[in-house]
């Protein structure tokens, strides 16, 4: 069972020549999964009795923007606030009945982000623009851990038998971890060159961060220590062209250099016990090329894209586990491409759109080690989708669709528990059909 809802409010106004925008949002998620068998055997090697997650978040952003210097300067400044509370609880059996107790991994996270930012775009000439932006952000992370072990009563969790973390006391087993604050200064600098009204060439450098935090599933003093932030410096050179409004072509080459890159790896803690932990692995880089094209041929519109990636770890931290030299980047195909087409027929006040697309990706690895485990990867494959939609003048759209029309069998991810000697795969959706309706106002 999963239920989520959210709302947002956007208010815009102006004071003199300065425009103002307020963006307020709230979101809530409640999810519960029961009786998930992860070992795919008749035995309770790894049985998830219940996995429940609850989370709610609130955000507020305030923007001030406008033009100056005879409209040669576009500027924006603002502030942002975000807070969330989330609890994740996993109740599971490991190698039952040899391990008679239920393991309860339970943690409540409290996160907050404060930021101020600004960006300018200055037209040096009619063809050359300078773009610069900077942001100061402060993240605060806190975690309350309640991990514990419970006896088995009639096949369900019973009395709390012990705490999973040394120093905690029954029955709550609460271990409050202190506030941890991380501060960053993301920024971007770039130059845009417009040789004509239908062409753009750009060069930019950006620095970004991913926040540090705590591992909710930590079970010992060292695994409950916070992991640090990840930093990435990205360099990109690209171009966009349009020919007679009938053909659009864009492409770019880029390189991203990671420092203290974060990875999620299963770490063994005794026979039959592994814990998924985020950790700072070291340095890495990703190089790539992206191409996109779109052509309008009367009622027919064709589009396609191609992406090539070369990713590797450069230097590993001596303390990292679950990663070796030569490990592939998980969930990172070297090649992907898409082809799609739309054909529109106008009938009175209705547009009928026939759509078809094909998406292909090369081999994907689901885990960084071992580097060439044939069971922990998905060979290259492609998916075919199609739809037929009727767009009415009154704002309604009705459509029928089919996904994975060739009924391709493939895996979305795997879960590997080497200490138990098994690996579970999670298949992608088979051939599916459906109908949908939408109203735009």
Give the mean pLDDT of 165-184: 92
The mean pLDDT of 178-198, rounded to a whole number, is 96
How large is the average pLDDT for residues 67-94? 95
Can you give the pLDDT at residue 98?
Answer: 74
Tokens of 62: 């305030």
| Three-state secondary structure readout of the chain | CEEEEEEEEEEEEEECCEEEEEEEEEEEEEEEEEEEECCCCCCCCEEEEEEEEEEEEEEEEEEEEEEECCCCEEEEEEEEEEEEEEEEEEEEEECCCCCCCEEEEEEEEEEEEEEEEEEEEEECCCCEEEEEEEEEEEEEEEEEECCEEEEEECCEEEEEEEECCCCCCCCCCCEEEEEEEEEECCEEEEEEEEEECCEEEEEEEEEEEECCECCCCCCCCCCCCCECCEEEEEEEEEEEEEECCCEEEEEEEEEEEEECCEEEEEEECCCCCEEEEEEECEEEEEEEEEEEEEEEECCEEEEEEEEEEEEEEEEECCCCCCCCCCCCCCCCCCEEEEEEEEEEEEECCEEEEEEEEEEEECCEECCCCCCCCHHHEECCEEEEEEEEEEEECCCEEEEEEEECCCCCCCEEEEEEECCCCEEEEEECCCCEEEEEEEECC
pLDDT at 307 over 90: yes
> What pLDDT digit, counting tens, does each position of 264-279 carry?
876 666 555 567 788 8
Taking residues 178-203, report their average pLDDT: 96
Return the higher-pLDDT residue of 247 and 274.
247
Instruction: Give the whole-number percent of the chain exceeding pLDDT 90.
Output: 71
- Range of lowest pLDDT (251-255, 300-304, 367-371): 367-371
What is the average per-residue pLDDT within 116-121? 98
pLDDT for the residue numbered 35: 83
Least confident among 120-134, 144-158, 240-254, 265-279: 265-279
Q: Which of 306, 302, 429 has the alpha carbon at shortest distance from 355?
A: 302
Residue 286 confidence (pLDDT): 97
pTM, rounded to two decimals: 0.88
Q: Give pLDDT, residue 269.
A: 61
| 256: confidence class by pLDDT, cuts 50, 70, 90 | very high
Greater model confidence, 369 or 2? 2
Average pLDDT of the residues in 122-138 = 97
**Of 27-36, 317-326, 412-421, where does mean pLDDT reach its minimum?**
412-421
Query: What pLDDT was estimated at residue 326?
Result: 83
Q: What is the pLDDT of residues 44-67, one digit of tens each?
A: 777 888 999 999 999 999 999 999
In percent, how much of the chain has pLDDT > 70? 95
Q: What is the mean pLDDT of residues 68-92?
A: 96
Six token digits for residue 283: 């340095």
* Beta carbons within 8 Å of 230's beta carbon, 6+ residues apart: 209, 210, 212, 258, 259, 260, 261, 262, 280
Contact between 173 and 148 under an 8 Å Cβ cutoff? The reply is yes
Residue located via tokens 């942002």: 80
Residue-wise pLDDT tens digits, 369-391: 766 677 889 999 999 999 999 99
**What's the CA gap between 285 and 422, in Å, rounded?**
32
SS3 per-residue string spanning 152-193: EECCEEEEEEEECCCCCCCCCCCEEEEEEEEEECCEEEEEEE
Per-residue pLDDT at 435: 97
What is the distance in angstroms between the CA of the first residue and the CA of the last residue of the chain? 31
pLDDT of residue 268: 63
Predicted confidence (pLDDT) at residue 290 exceeds the cutoff of 90: yes
Q: What is the CA radius of gyration of the chain?
A: 26
419 pLDDT tier (thresholds 50, 70, 90): low
Q: Which residue has the higher pLDDT, 323 or 134?
A: 134
Span 311-336, average pLDDT:
89
Residue 1's pLDDT is what?
Answer: 83
Identify the pLDDT of residue 376: 85
Which residue from 137, 257, 144, 271 is spatially nearest to 206, judged by alpha carbons? 257
Domains of the chain: 2-439 (2.40.170.20)
Per-residue pLDDT, 321: 80
């Amino acid at each position: 069972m999963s239920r989520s809802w959210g709302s947002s409010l956007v208010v815009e106004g102006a004071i003199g020549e300065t425009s103002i925008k307020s963006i307020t949002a709230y979101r809530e998620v409640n999810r519960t999964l029961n009786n998930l068998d992860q070992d795919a055997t008749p035995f309770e090697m790894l049985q998830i009795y219940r996995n429940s997650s609850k989370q709610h978040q609130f955000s507020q952003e305030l923007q001030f923007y406008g033009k100056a210097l005879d409209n040669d300067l576009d500027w924006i400044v603002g502030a942002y606030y975000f807070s969330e509370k989330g609890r994740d609880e996993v109740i599971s059996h490991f190698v039952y009945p040899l391990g008679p107790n239920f393991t309860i991994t339970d943690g409540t996270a409290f996160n907050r982000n404060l930021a101020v930012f600004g960006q300018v775009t200055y037209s040096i000439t009619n063809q050359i623009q300078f773009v610069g932006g900077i942001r100061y952000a402060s993240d605060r992370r806190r975690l309350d851990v309640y991990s514990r072990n419970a006896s088995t009563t009639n096949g369900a969790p019973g009395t709390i038998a012990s705490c999973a973390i040394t120093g905690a006391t029954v029955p709550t087993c609460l271990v409050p971890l202190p506030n941890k604050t991380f501060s960053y200064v993301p920024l971007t600098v770039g130059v845009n060159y417009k040789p004509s009204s239908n062409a753009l060439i750009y060069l930019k450098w950006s620095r970004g961060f991913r926040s540090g935090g705590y591992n909710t599933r930590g079970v010992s003093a060292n695994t409950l220590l916070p992991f640090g932030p990840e930093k990435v410096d990205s360099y990109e050179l690209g171009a966009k062209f349009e020919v007679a409004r009938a053909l659009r072509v864009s492409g770019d080459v880029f390189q991203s250099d990671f420092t203290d890159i974060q990875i999620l790896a299963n770490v063994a803690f005794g026979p039959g016990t592994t814990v998924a932990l985020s950790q700072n692995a070291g340095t890495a880089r990703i190089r790539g090329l992206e191409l996109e094209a779109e052509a309008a041929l009367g009622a027919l519109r064709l589009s396609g894209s191609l992406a090539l990636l070369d990713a590797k770890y450069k230097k590993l931290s001596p303390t990292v586990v679950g990663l070796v030299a030569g490990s592939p980047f998980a969930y990172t195909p070297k090649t992907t491409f898409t082809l799609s087409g739309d054909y529109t027929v106008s009938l009175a006040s209705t547009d009928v759109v026939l759509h078809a697309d094909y998406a292909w990706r090369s081999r994907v690895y689901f885990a960084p080690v071992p580097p060439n485990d044939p069971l922990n990867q998905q060979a290259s494959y492609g998916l075919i989708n199609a739809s037929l939609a009727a767009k009415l003048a009154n704002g309604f759209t009705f459509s029928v669709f089919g996904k994975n029309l060739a009924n391709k069998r493939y895996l979305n991810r795997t879960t590997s528990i080497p200490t138990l000697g098994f690996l579970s795969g999670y298949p992608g959706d088979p051939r599916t059909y459906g109908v949908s309706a939408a109203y735009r106002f």
